[in-house]
């Protein structure tokens, strides 16, 4: 039973983080996201290769923020920006 509870808690945490990131993306331009992501206590890297994107480390997983034209399966789309977990997006 505790394994199920841990999985549910992790799922809810990930969903909350994606919602929090989506709110930040909604209120900023792509290149201006870093400041507000850092203010929200996310550990953020900006990478230029293979395409410009942000990487956020979160609980052993990496969340990617990229222009939606470079994403196949995003967990969230806000305007022209796709948000999702690395390997999935």
Reported pTM: 0.84
CA angle, residues 82, 47, 74, in degrees to nearest 5: 15
Mean pLDDT of the chain: 88
Domain ranges of the chain: 2-85
Q: Report the distance separating Cα 20 and Cα 41, nearest Å.
A: 11
Section 14-39 average pLDDT: 91
Give the start-end residues of each E strand in 3-88: 43-47, 53-58, 61-67, 76-78, 81-85
pLDDT above 90 (res 6): no
Section 36-63 average pLDDT: 92
């Amino acid at each position: 039973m505790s394994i199920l509870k841990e999985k549910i808690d992790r799922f809810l945490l990930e969903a909350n983080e994606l919602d929090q990131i989506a709110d930040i993306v909604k209120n900023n331009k792509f290149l201006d996201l870093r400041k507000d992501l850092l203010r929200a206590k996310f550990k953020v890297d900006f990478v230029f290769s293979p395409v410009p994107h942000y990487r956020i480390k979160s609980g052993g997983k990496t969340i990617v923020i990229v222009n939606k034209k470079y994403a196949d399966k995003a967990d969230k789309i806000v305007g022209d920006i796709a948000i999702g977990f690395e390997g999935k997006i």
